[in-house]
Structure 1
Amino acid sequence: MFILFFRLVGRGIRDLGLHPWANIFTLIAVTMVSLLAGFFMLALQNINQELLKTRGEVQFQIFWKASTPEDVYVSEWEKLSNIEGLKEIHTFTPQNALTQLSSALGGGENFSYLDKDNPLPPTALLSFSVEPGAGDENWASDLLSELKAMNGVDKVHYNPIQIDLARGWLNLTKTIVWPVIMFLGLVVALVVGNTMRLSLMTRKDEIEILYLVGAKQWFIRIPILTGGAVQGFLGGTLAVGILYMAQQFFRDILNFPPLFLKIGFLPLDQCAMLVGVVAVVGIISSYVAVR
């Protein structure tokens, strides 16, 4: 039984060559529709990622006592870099902080007289993504206590409102982005389904003859369903490949001041979802058409 099944699957793949032009145009149509959906998904993904950079993180600013020895706070900075969920860290020695202050004032101020008696403390700015701790309501307060207990730390500042804003933004993106992706999947399903059904009209006589000679339904359908799956899979894969080449070509097109936006590619799960949806639609549309 399994041998016959695989033979029918193989026949379905070979049958794609019986009507090459019809199948080529079908593959082009499936690829173009999948590519259009992929471009929308890519745009949504990049917009979401850029907004999450400012809306989906919480910052902690740590001040050490001005009298803290350099080896102490440098050692503490090394520990900070290993904290779970840390997205980014910026550290400032008293001398760095003085230089930053001079730059912020336009570089016209000369603070060289403070080099030997610098009043600015060592500082660290930590950025955390909310997602790693999104399931724990107390993660920020626990982290705050941990940071305050570090050697030489004078005070720690953070804005609790950032946590609520970040969580709210994450919930909003999940509420908006995924329904839009599902809508795109529905559009792809309708267009690809109709395209596949029209392509099977070229095999109408063949299917009717098989029914007339008494062939079982599964014997007729397996090769046709295989052809639909192959065309859907190839169309989705080609669309992802073209989308990747376009992303590489246009990656830095918005990477200029004041935007500084780099266009990233879709995550692996979304690429797999796009290919899988198109392949499944190919199977379903072939099944509906052959009935």
Structure 2
Amino acid sequence: MSEKPTTQQGASAATLGTSEKFSAYFRNHQMVAVESLAKLLATPASSLLTWLVIAIALTLPGALYMAVNNLQQLSGHFEASGQMTVFLAADIREADSNALRLRVASLEQVNKVVYVSPEQALEEFTQYGGISEALSFLDENPLPAVLLVEPPLGIDKEELSVLVAQIQSFKHVDSVQVDMAWVERLLALLALAQRLVAVVGVLLALAIVLVVGNTIRLSIAARTEEIRVIKLVGGTNAYVRRPFLYSGFWYGAIGGILAWLMLGLCWILLQGPVSDIAELYGADFYLQPLPFEPTCWLILSASLLGLIGSWWSVQRHLVAIEP
């Protein structure tokens, strides 16, 4: 009967010992992380230089990603519009034009139809300098009547092709024009730009690993005697490695934050001019900043690259230092 309390007390002591070990382990990591950051801040010139190199290396693929993301939104807007121009026969009567407009408007895949008479088209053309003088030499109006057909938003290419063929088959329709070729070219360029972002990102990621690795190598070389003393008194490689790993983490994390700030500055400087250009072309488009999720990935990736660079450098140079 008297042995049970002793056993429970021993188990409690063992549990407490394990809890204290974990607590001490995390406290040590916290202390090393803070001390590593303090050492970097104690040498602001060299640390800032490394942070700026990392930030610039991350800003380039980040800016390319922002550009591709905004162009995707812009191309999606135009691709979804897909307005068609239906040119009517030159000898069509006004009654036939109205009947054709009503017939096209009754189609399921048509949202809106606007009829432009030859006189209205001529009036619009005369507003352009030089064209009005050329038209004045003609005996009659050469412009045909036109139907501006607006399909629903989000219509795919197959449905649009069927709609074009259906309207083309109507009587008094001369031709149907859908100017989507430039959108397809833009989409092809966007696919190329996405591949370019990936390639540039990988190359600059390798550059960041090398920059952090070289910086940590110099730090190890400057603390060689200190490392020998620590190993002499029983310090393990894991214990010696820890502050260098945290230094690499801080290099990457702060470099990523600086890259995000640079991208934000670029967005602020370019937002106004881009909106002005879009307004001149009659487009409701605003330059979008880097979204929240890619921002988190940017900083997280930078931190991970810093860790990889420091780990690679420590593994190469730390084992060679013996007491």
Which TM-score bucket, shorter chain as reference? Answer: 0.5 to 0.7
Say yes or no: does 1:67 pair with 2:99: yes
- Aligned in 2, Cα 1:125/1:32: closer, same or farther, shift over 3 Å? farther
Q: Which moved more, 1:20-29 or 1:31-40?
A: 20-29
Deviation at 1:276? 3.0
Higher relative contact order (CA 8 A, sep 6+): 1
How many aligned positions are there? 260
Report the equivalent of 2:127: 106
Deviation at 1:7? 1.9
Mapping for residues 166-245 of structure 1, pairs under 5 Å: 168-245=188-265
Deviation at 1:248? 0.7
SS of the aligned residue for 2:99 comes to coil
Report the equivalent of 1:112: none
- The structure with the largest helix share of the pair is 2
Structure ID, larger Rg: 2
Report the equivalent of 1:86: none
- Aligned in 2, Cα 1:34/1:241: closer, same or farther, shift over 3 Å? same
SS of the aligned residue for 2:150 comes to strand
Query: How far does the alpha carbon of each residue in 1:120-166 deviate from its partner, in whole angstroms, 9 at most, with x for none?
Result: 4352277869xxxxxxxxx522443368789xx98965468668645
**Unaligned 5+ runs, structure 2:** 1-20, 88-96, 136-143, 319-323
Report the equivalent of 1:136: none
**Unaligned 5+ runs, structure 1:** 81-90, 110-117, 130-138
Distance across 2 between alignment mates of 1:56 and 1:69: 26
Contact persistence 1:41–1:181 (CA under 8 A): yes
SS of the aligned residue for 2:127 comes to coil
Say yes or no: does 1:282 pair with 2:282: no
Identity of aligned residues (%): 20
Contact persistence 2:32–2:246 (CA under 8 A): yes
- Aligned in 2, Cα 1:37/1:265: closer, same or farther, shift over 3 Å? farther
Deviation at 1:185? 2.0
TM-score (norm 2): 0.59
- Aligned in 2, Cα 1:186/1:20: closer, same or farther, shift over 3 Å? closer
Distance across 1 between alignment mates of 2:42 and 2:311: 18
The alignment's C-alpha RMSD in Å is 4.7
Q: Which moved more, 1:190-199 or 1:259-268?
A: 259-268
Contact persistence 2:252–2:302 (CA under 8 A): yes
Deviation at 1:68? 6.9
